[in-house]
DNA sequence: CGGCAATTTGAATCCGGAT
DNA sequence: GATCCGGATTCAAATTGCC
């Protein structure tokens, strides 16, 4: 690379987030998932109706003196992340109402281009014990590209198949991280106050990365991002400043088995599959030169040339161009517009021939 | 009051939002609901897959030169709103990912104390036509008190009874404003591009105000806030700068009948039934990616992908499509066709897992 | 008038590989 | 980096149209 900087892979790096980010080479990671401190500013202890104490987030790493201090910290790590992120990469950031508005505004100010905000609806949130607010039942994730014109990855077909063949929406429903997945100390107490469920990361990684690509988590904690990445056959880099968490996450990662390569690969979307030209159908005699194509309503008839051009009156060109011209439409997918007439008078879409060829491997 | 300023009640004031706010007396309204411009930044036209044109928001009032210009505008109207709001009052602000992070950060900077962010999940959102993002299926409302130590109103019991005697959560589910409720011009076209459903305002007002209290909407538009307020026996003040909207909302308000006191609490809450996708079982590890599914007679074996697709030879797709393809049937219910093999060799229908998740509420 | 089918529509930052 | 152009892309609900 000529930068003198190495990209460590499949490691959790011990150290301060910003200082460690500065040692990573530029434009080197495909995706970032960041779960930064929440700046909760809890003023006192909170008790349940039965007088038991709620174990709130009061760790030292979560204390900031002011919004200004939090903003300065936020902009510093986000700036380094943007440097480390590839131009075609994306970043996910998760937060609650305490900090997420600072995070989102900072991302926009730094040049990130927001693609979606995604809501994690919690199946089993902590109730509001005082009855003074709505049950805080969700957290917000912001998904952003490097910039407004970035060509980023989105595995549309994979998300759609995950959701019973319907487009994946921006509101996701998952239980909290509990049970065997939740890391605990020897005393049985939870090791980390905000460990995220691996299922959440599974969906994020499946949406935006391919097997073998590199995922960075600058606030690695108990290593949920790394665990999901390893399981899905992605490479990971974690940054964590607490040695306790680093050790615990490395032990956790030892027990994670990558799934089969075939299983980790998501269904390719149509535009990622090898392209088959209309000319192939002509050459192979499926749609012979000189034959006639018609639209669904038999309103237009066009003749196929030996060079795979269509002619219909004055209109000459590709199946798409002629289809668009005849309909006076801005564009037209000729594959799903033109049919050939079979001997028994039925219509067959030319796209069916293409699919047959694709099924035979081109 | 000694300010020389009057509080006009049950009126829609025609004029610029900020200038009109300045003429209202301080600490005089109990609640504010604000639906400011979203600063959408749409570039070109967008077409549906059927080539029809999407009617996007291209109004002049939604155009800002920069984030800085939008922030300056935001801080100005929010400052005036905070002056007009009573010390025990609250403000609601609604936005999407385009602007909501600017709004939330501005509120915190100006001294508002955020109580919740509430997500409006749309029952029927517009899909993502190009398949490049998640369906943008929600908007975010921020609910805030005047300051950190404010004594604000929250009608906890009303919200609980509205939600089948469970605490009201921060994620709300409502359809878009359509049908008879949507105001239309003589040509049948929607009068306002972003009219909110009255049900949304109904719940907001019921949560934070008492009958007879005063509700202010600085971006009144078609008067949804005023209509919901009148129906619930609250007083309202609207501010709207477009005479067309002012006239239309006043006509709308003439047709609104205040409901009996107490009737409001008995309105039924619309609960959705959870629909569980096969992908949920994969993400949660109940049917791990890489595992094998078999049919009842062990005639076919298929492998589960990380994106919940099934693979069996050349057949790839959802549990339903692959089941149908293997049997050469027109359709197949994959839930009652596929099983997983337990360690002791017995078969378990995948539908059993779905029922377990459904029993836990999704 | 009823029932079923077809059409319309909604706060939208909506393409990408090859040359 | 800019340009060309092939061709991929939609869900729920309300409304209208047809028989």
Q: Residues A311-332: pLDDT tens digits? A: 999 899 999 999 999 988 888 9
- pLDDT value for A1: 44
Residues of B in contact with A137 (CB under 8 A): 169-171
Q: Name the residue facing B167 among A128, A199, A259 (closest C-beta).
A: A128
pLDDT above 70: residue A186? yes
Helix, strand, coil percentages for chain B (3-state, nearest 5): 30, 20, 50
Local structure of B71: helix, strand or coil: helix
Two structure tokens written together for B105: 């950060």
Helix, strand, coil share of chain A (percent; to 5): 30, 20, 50
What span, in angstroms and rounded, lies between the C-alpha atoms of A209 and A156? 11
Give the pLDDT score at B267: 52
In A, which residues are within 8 Å of B167 by CB distance?
Answer: 127-128, 131, 134-135
Q: What's the number of domains chain B is made of?
A: 2
Q: What digits encode the pLDDT tens for the residues B345-359?
A: 899 999 999 999 988
pLDDT at A134: 98
What share of chain B has pLDDT > 90, as a percent?
86
Tokens representing B308 are 């919940």
Residue A110 neighbours by CB under 8 Å, 6+ apart: A75, A78, A79, A82
Q: Does B351 touch chain A (CB under 8 A)?
A: no
Mean pLDDT value across chain A: 92
Q: Are residues A173 and A307 in the same domain?
A: no
At A254, which helix (H) or strand (E)? helix A243-254
CA-CA distance, B178 to A233, in Å (whole number)? 46
What average pLDDT score do residues A174-198 get? Answer: 96
Interatomic CA–C1' length for residue B235 and nucleotide D9, angstroms: 47
Closest among B250, B190, B170 to B10, alpha carbons compared: B250
Average the pLDDT over B325-338 and give the result: 92
Cβ of A57: how many Cβ atoms within 10 Å? 15
Nearest CA in chain A to B361: A123
Q: Which domain range does residue A208 map to?
A: 11-269
E strand spans, chain B: 11-14, 29-34, 85-95, 113-122, 138-145, 171-174, 214-217, 235-240, 292-294, 301-304, 310-312, 315-317, 339-341, 347-349
CA B126 – CA A280 distance, rounded (Å) = 37
pLDDT at residue B57 tops 70: yes
With a cut of 50, say whether residue B8 has pLDDT above it.
yes
Asked whether residue B119 falls in the same domain as residue B202, the answer is yes
Shared domain check, A132 and A78: yes
CA dihedral B230, B61, B179, B271 (to 10 degrees): -70
CA dist A167 → A155, A171, B98, B131 (Å): 11, 12, 21, 8
Looking at A224, A252, A269, the residue that finishes a domain is A269
In a domain? residue A1: no
Identify which has the larger pLDDT, B343 or A176. Answer: A176
Q: What is the pLDDT of residues A243-273, one digit of tens each?
A: 999 999 999 999 999 999 889 988 888 888 8
Which residues of chain A from 234 to 253 reach within 8 Å of chain B, CB to CB?
none
Q: What is the pLDDT of residues B198-211, one digit of tens each?
A: 999 999 999 999 99
How buried is A304 (Cβ within 10 angstroms: 0-12 exposed, 13-18 middle, 19+ buried)?
buried
Residue B1 has pLDDT above 50, yes or no: no
- C-alpha distance from A347 to closest chain B C-alpha (Å): 20
Question: pLDDT per residue over A20-46, tens digit each?
Answer: 999 999 999 999 999 999 865 545 556
Most confident of A311-320, B96-105, B163-172: B96-105
Q: Is A4 a member of any domain? A: no
Residue B118 has pLDDT above 50, yes or no: yes
Label residue A2 by pLDDT band (50, 70, 90). Answer: very low
Pairing of strands B347-349, B339-341: antiparallel
| Whether A198 and A228 share a structural domain | yes
Residue B50 lies in a domain: no
Do both A180 and A316 map to the same domain?
A: no
Q: What CATH code is carried by the domain that includes residue A15?
A: 3.40.50.150
- Please name the nucleotide lying closest to A270, CA to C1': D8
Same domain, B287 and B259: no
Tell me which of A269, A290, A322 is where a domain ends.
Answer: A269
Contact A134 B114 (CB under 8 A): no
A6 CA – D2 C1', rounded, Å: 33
Which residue from A97, A114, A158 is facing B307, i.e. has the nearest CB? Answer: A158
> What pLDDT score was predicted for residue A45?
58
pLDDT above 90 for A188: yes
Residues 94-153 of A with CB under 8 A from B: 96-98, 100-105, 107-109, 114-119, 121, 123, 125, 127-128, 131-138, 140, 142-143
Put simply, the chain B residues between 171 and 230 with a CB less than 8 A from any chain A CB are 171, 207
Contact A163, B318 (CB under 8 A): no
Concatenating the DSSP letter of every residue in A166-225 gives S--BSEEEE--S-GGGS-B-TTS-BSSTTPPPHHHHHHHHHHH--TT-EEEETT-TTTHH
User: Per-residue confidence at B32, pLDDT binned at 50, 70, 90?
Assistant: very high
**In chain B, which residue ranges form alpha helices assigned H by DSSP?**
17-22, 67-84, 100-109, 156-162, 198-208, 224-231, 243-254, 278-283, 319-327, 350-359
pLDDT band for position B271 (cuts 50, 70, 90) = low
Cβ(B236)–Cβ(B230) below 8 Å: yes
Compute CA distances A86 → A30, A150, A174, whole Å: 6, 10, 30
Per residue in A270-284, pLDDT (tens digit) is 888 889 999 999 999
A133 and A262 in a common domain: yes
Which of A244, A269, A294 corresponds to the end of one domain? A269
Residue B4 forms part of a structural domain: no
Distance linking the first and last C-alpha atoms of chain B = 54
| Element spanning A17, H or E | helix A17-21
Instruction: Say if residue B31's pLDDT is above 60.
Output: yes
Judged on CB neighbours under 10 Å (0-12, 13-18, 19+), A233 is buried
- Assigned domain for B271 exists: no
């Amino acid at each position: 690379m000529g930068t003198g900087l190495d990209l460590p892979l499949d490691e959790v790096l011990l150290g301060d987030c910003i200082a460690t980010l500065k040692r990573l080479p530029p434009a080197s990671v495909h995706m970032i998932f960041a779960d930064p401190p929440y700046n909760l500013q809890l003023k006192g202890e909170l008790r349940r109706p039965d007088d038991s104490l709620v174990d709130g987030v009061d760790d030292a790493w979560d204390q900031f003196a002011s919004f200004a201090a939090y903003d300065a910290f936020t902009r510093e790590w986000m700036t380094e992340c943007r440097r480390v992120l590839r131009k075609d990469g994306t970043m996910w950031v998760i937060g609650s109402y305490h900090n997420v508005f600072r995070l989102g505004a900072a991302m926009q100010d730094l040049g990130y281009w927001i693609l979606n905000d995604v809501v994690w609806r919690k199946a089993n949130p902590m109730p509001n014990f005082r009855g003074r607010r709505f049950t805080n039942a969700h957290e917000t994730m912001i998904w952003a590209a490097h910039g407004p014109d970035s060509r980023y990855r989105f595995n549309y077909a994979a998300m759609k198949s995950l959701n019973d063949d319907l487009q994946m929406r921006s509101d996701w429903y998952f239980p909290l991280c509990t049970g065997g997945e939740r890391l605990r100390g020897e005393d049985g107490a939870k090791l980390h106050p905000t460990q995220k469920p691996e299922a959440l990361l599974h969906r994020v990684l499946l949406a935006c990365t391919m097997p073998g690509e590199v995922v960075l988590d600058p606030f690695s904690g108990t290593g949920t991002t790394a665990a999901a990445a390893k399981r899905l056959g992605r490479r990971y880099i974690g940054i964590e400043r607490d040695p306790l968490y680093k050790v615990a996450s490395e032990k956790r990662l030892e027990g994670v088995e990558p799934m089969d390569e075939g299983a980790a690969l998501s269904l390719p979307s149509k535009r990622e599959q090898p392209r088959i030209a209309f000319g192939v159908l002509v050459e192979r005699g499926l749609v012979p030169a000189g034959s006639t194509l018609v639209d669904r309503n038999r309103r237009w008839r066009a003749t196929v040339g030996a060079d795979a051009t269509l002619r219909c009156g004055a209109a000459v060109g590709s199946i798409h161009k002629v289809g668009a011209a005849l309909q006076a439409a801005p564009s037209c997918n000729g594959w799903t517009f033109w049919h050939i007439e079979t001997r028994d008078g039925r219509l067959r879409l030319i796209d069916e021939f293409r699919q047959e060829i694709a099924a035979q491997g081109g």
